[in-house]
Amino acid sequence: MKKVLIIDYGSQYTQLLARRIREMEIYSEVAPHDAEITNLEDITAIILSGGPKSVNDKDALEIPDWIFKLDVPILGICYGMQALAKKLGGKVEKTEVSEYGKTIIKVSNNVLFSEIPEKIITWMSHGDSVVALPEGSEIIATTYNGINAAVKFSEKIYGIQFHPEVKHTEFGFEILENFLIKIAKLEKNWSLENLIENKIKEIKETVGNSKAIIALSGGVDSSVAAVLVHKAIGEQLKAVFVNHGLMRLNEEIEVKKIFNELLGINLTVVDAQKRFLSKLSGVTDPEKKRKIIGEEFIRVFENEATNEYEFLVQGTIYSDVIESAASGKNTAKIKSHHNVGGLPEDMKFKIIEPLRNLFKDEVREVGKLLGIPEHILYRHPFPGPGLAIRIIGEITEEKLNILKKADHIFIETLKEFNWYNKVWQAFTVLTPIKSVGVVGDERSYDYVLAIRSVDSVEGMTADWSKIPFEILEKASSRIVNEVNGVGRVVYDITSKPPATIEWE
């Protein structure tokens, strides 16, 4: 498939950049800076991302020579621009003026800034600057501090010091579009309809006459993956819901009803609650929880599938892949997921991940095209390890019951005030902390429960939801009055970054 390749140098915005390009109906993929790239003939343009390092560091990440040998248009962003300047013979130094956050730039008459106002606000994040240009280069934008904000290195190679992919940059979408459409001469020819058609064909060819099995959680990702694969291979797919006891209240009942009645997929339910609780007994480390749950999932599947099922279908999406594995040694690993990082090495299945390169909102759009009801598609994201990572510390049956009831009340309250669909993800977290309270005339000593709600598009970045106080007040009041064991409710007002969306 023809694609724009984004070389990742560690920027927190790299995946957002890929998403913005797809919004233009141009397919894009991300690769680590040191990846071995195959199918070079499919690459139509290259974008070099930003990154936290300095190009003058001893261990600075360089641009590989093969990129220039392709002779395709190149755009360097932030670190990418500085790396281009240095590689092509220019000079990058730490300047007296550093620029972080909103910065006004003045642009010149260049195709990259076609139909863009002369002065725009951009989002900067740099201490180093390009202070000397390679021979034949041209400055096409500067900041009011006199810093080079954009450079035309050649007819096909450009660099910009700011981040066009973030919403804080005015006309950022248009600048990217100018590069891809007017400079790289690309066409808008990628669509989710074509992707579905190609995926169904690919799955048919991959599975052939064999059989596949999928774990259904009732969440968006596994639901869409199941329906997509079912479209391809029909009854060759076995759908299994593992009731590990770590799901939301009454989840096992609702999931079976949805898939059997609404989607026509025969669902096998396996009650493994005692098995999982036993394995998790005494475990407090979040990564150990994830690994244990991931391995137990596979072991349950092996018991169900026997030897007749060769393939395991997973609802892995792009954010799972990104956050589960570091992109080389220069990107920090954030966390692992049961459907990526928790797979045991000796598992017997071959993996099919039909949604692996799709962002969450793209997954929902695919679901719509497949005819999945919107009330399923717009359920809030739910982590693979379930409530295990929303109970801080050891997991017990008592804590699970407390959290399920509290979470149900919070979601119910949001729906009552028509706020459920206004936020991206909302849930509760049971902390290991207990605090003193007063119930009637007696002293109480019960758990502190945290409410978490965030607004996001793809989950890579998120801001805490500005939910009206009256909604928070009602949710808090109901929880402390209706859920035995909770004595205090707090609201998490931390964005991502620096925090993650989940607490563990």
Residues annotated as binding site?
Answer: 217-223
Which backbone phi and psi does 69 adopt, to 5 degrees?
-70, -25
197 flagged as catalytic: no
CA dist 38 → 1, 148, 318 (Å):
12, 35, 20
CA dist 5 → 37, 179, 180, 397 (Å):
10, 14, 12, 47
165 flagged as catalytic: yes
Q: How far apart are CA 294 and CA 303, in angstroms?
A: 15
Query: Do residues 377 and 368 touch, judged by C-beta distance below 8 A?
Result: yes
Query: Do residues 355 and 221 touch, judged by C-beta distance below 8 A?
Result: yes
Residues 6+ positions from 141 with CB-CB distance below 8 Å? 105, 106, 107, 108, 113, 148, 149, 150, 160
Set 163, 244, 337, 338: catalytic member: 163
Which backbone phi and psi does 115 adopt, to 5 degrees?
60, 30
Set 33, 78, 310, 338: catalytic member: 78
Which backbone phi and psi does 208 adopt, to 5 degrees?
60, -125
Per DSSP bridges, beta strands 28-32 and 3-8 are parallel
Count of residues for the chain? 504
Per DSSP bridges, beta strands 74-77 and 43-48 are parallel
Write out the two tokens for 28.
């894009």
Sign of the CA dihedral with 327 first, then 311, 293, and 239 last: positive
338 flagged as catalytic: no
Task: Please give the annotated binding residues for ATP, written as ranges.
Answer: 217-223
Set 165, 177, 252, 504: catalytic member: 165
Burial of 231 (0-12, 13-18, 19+ CB in 10 A): middle
Catalytic residues: 78, 163, 165
